[in-house]
Amino acid sequence: MKIQRHGATLGLIAAGALLLTACGSDNNAPAGATGGASAPASAEQVDCTGKAKLNAEGSSAQKTAIESFVQVYQQKCKGADLAYNASGSGAGVKQFNAAQVDFGGSDSPLSKDKGEVDAAATRCQSNPAWNIPLVFGPVAISYKLDGVTDLTVSGEVAAKIFNGTVKKWNDPAIAALNSSAKLPDKDITVVYRSDESGTTDNFQKYLTAASKGAWTQGDGKAFKGGLGEGKEKSAGVAQAVASVDGAVTYVEWSFAQDNKLSVAKIDNGGGAVELTPETVGKAIDGAKIKGEGNDLVLDLNSIYASTAAGTYPLILATYEIVCSKGYDADTAKAVKAFLTVAATDGQAGLSDAGYAPLPKAFQDKILTAIKAIA
């Protein structure tokens, strides 16, 4: 995911638009609490005496962020390395719970209903696993439609598109939100993630919260719309949409930009809202933590269903899933070292990589959790 060329745009996130300190408990994607493209300076000490090679797997949404973290980690801890396989959130959780990797990456926290919480506790020697959010960004409803580059959807209309209730681009439901657009009499081609994905889970949670009952399919890491063409990973769905006129998908903003896809505005009841650093930041101001203690699980439902003017409600938080206890001593040291670097010095390059640095208040919460890993 090569998104460095978008750094100038996303750097604005850190320029004060996404002042996550207002997130009473948990601030997702943005920049330093006082503005500026870099994360707050940190005097955190890093213990580099753990094992030299770490392995992790999971979310493709955070792939470039992890690569940036690894570069800083290698500078900070000479001879250290981390291999990250961007196989998707579902695979990341499975590999973590099977003790095949040292930590997993997921766009959704561990699910108790699916047995992931219990499986992770077993993997961690009868200790709970923690969800630690390090990487944040918006999700775009991205499309390719000849002659239409300015399009608005609502949560209700998006739900009807992705469950097949609305089949044509000139459907009255779409036209009612786009009176000035020349909508073609063309079939809508839905493209979805065929692999298990936290992006899919977040998107379906948004549809459930924001569609006024139009989305009844539920959520989860597997797409439940019942139609469309499945493609693997974020790059796969974005590339597929780029090649088909009339196609639409949900994907991280950076992938939409990379593939030159149009991005729909969202009317959440307060008027059409464009996806920008400012509108994402305003939405994230309401994020809270619902996890207990150092398990930093975010409660995003209030954002997804928000009707506040000027807020873009579709955001994604990527978690690193770690054992609170249960590692051997060398692995625990290395995991803590990598995550400490990622949460501090590693934040400085995130805006150039297409992500948003952590604000100081939220950075402190993450560091508290990292220090508690044993």
What is the per-residue pLDDT across 12-49, written as a single tens digit (0 to 9) for each?
333 333 323 223 223 333 333 323 333 444 557 899 99
Q: Is 59 annotated as a binding residue?
A: yes
Q: Are residues 200 and 332 in the same domain?
A: no
Per-residue confidence (pLDDT) for residue 42, from 0 to 100 = 52
155-204 pLDDT tens trace: 999 999 999 999 999 999 999 999 999 999 999 999 999 998 888 998 99
Higher per-residue confidence, 258 vs 262: 262
- Judge if 129 and 145 occupy the same domain: no
Confidence (pLDDT) at 138 = 84
The residue from 254, 281, 308 where one domain ends is 281
- Say how far apart CA 11 and CA 224 lie, in whole Å: 34
pLDDT of residue 26: 31
Give the pLDDT of residue 370. Answer: 98
**Any domain includes 263:** yes
Mean pLDDT of the chain: 86
Q: Tell me if 198 is assigned to a ligand binding site.
A: yes
Domain span at residue 194? 139-281
pTM confidence score:
0.69
374 contacts 367 by C-beta, under 8 angstroms: no
User: Whose structure tokens read 């992790």?
Assistant: 56
Contacts 24+ apart (CB under 8 A), 237-244: 237/191, 237/192, 237/193, 238/142, 240/191, 241/142, 241/143, 241/144, 241/191, 242/144, 244/144, 244/189, 244/191
229 occurs within a structural domain: yes
89 is known to lie in a ligand binding site: yes
- My answer on whether 64 and 87 are in the same domain is yes
Same domain, 203 and 264: yes
Residues 15 and 130 in one domain: yes
Q: Are residues 182 and 268 in the same domain?
A: yes
Q: Which pair of tokens denotes residue 79?
A: 């001879």
Residues 112 and 27 in one domain: yes
| One domain, residues 88 and 159 | no
CA-nearest of 260, 249, 269, 292 to 128 is: 292
Angle at the Cα of 64 from the Cα atoms of 61 and 66, rounded to 5 degrees = 95
Instruction: Confirm if 250 and 225 have CB atoms less than 8 A apart.
Output: no
Q: Is the pLDDT of residue 252 over 80?
A: yes
Residues 251-257: what's their mean pLDDT?
88
Q: How far is CA 295 from CA 44, 150, 218, 219, 338, in A?
A: 21, 40, 25, 22, 18
Q: How many domains does the chain have?
A: 2
Phi and psi at residue 104, in whole multiples of 5°?
-110, 155
pLDDT-derived band at 353 (thresholds 50, 70, 90) equals low
pLDDT above 90 for 285: no
pLDDT at 254: 82
Tell me if 286 is assigned to some domain. no
- Say yes or no to pLDDT of 331 above 80: yes
287 found inside a domain: no
Q: Provide the pLDDT for residue 286.
A: 63
pLDDT for the residue numbered 206: 96
Q: Give domain status of residue 304, yes or no.
A: no
Residue ending a domain, among 281, 308, 335, is 281
Q: Is residue 237 part of a domain?
A: yes
**In this predicted structure, what is the pLDDT of residue 81?**
98
Q: What is the pLDDT of residue 283?
A: 73
Q: Are 274 and 223 part of one and the same domain?
A: yes
pLDDT reported for residue 17: 32
Contact 290, 252 (CB under 8 A): no
Report the CATH number that the domain containing residue 171 is assigned in CATH: 3.40.190.10
What was the pLDDT predicted at 28? 31
Q: What is the mean pLDDT of residues 140-155?
A: 97
User: Which of 280 and 185 is assigned the larger pLDDT?
Assistant: 185
197 is in an annotated binding site: yes
Residue 107 is labelled as binding a ligand? yes
Q: Are residues 49 and 119 in the same domain?
A: yes
The reported pLDDT for the residue numbered 315 is: 85
Mutual orientation of helices 155-162 and 198-210 as an angle, nearest 10°?
120
Share above pLDDT 90 across residues of the chain, in percent, rounded to a whole number? 66
227 with 323, same domain: the answer is: no
Q: Are 25 and 333 in contact (CB under 8 A)?
A: no
Question: In the prediction, which pLDDT does 343 show?
Answer: 94
In a domain, 288, yes or no: no
Average pLDDT over residues 273-277: 86
Task: Tell whether 57 is covered by a domain.
Answer: yes
113 is in an annotated binding site: no
- How many Å apart are CA 142 and CA 237, to the nearest integer? 10
227 shares a domain with 98? no
Which helix H or strand E contains 329, and what residues bound it? helix 329-343
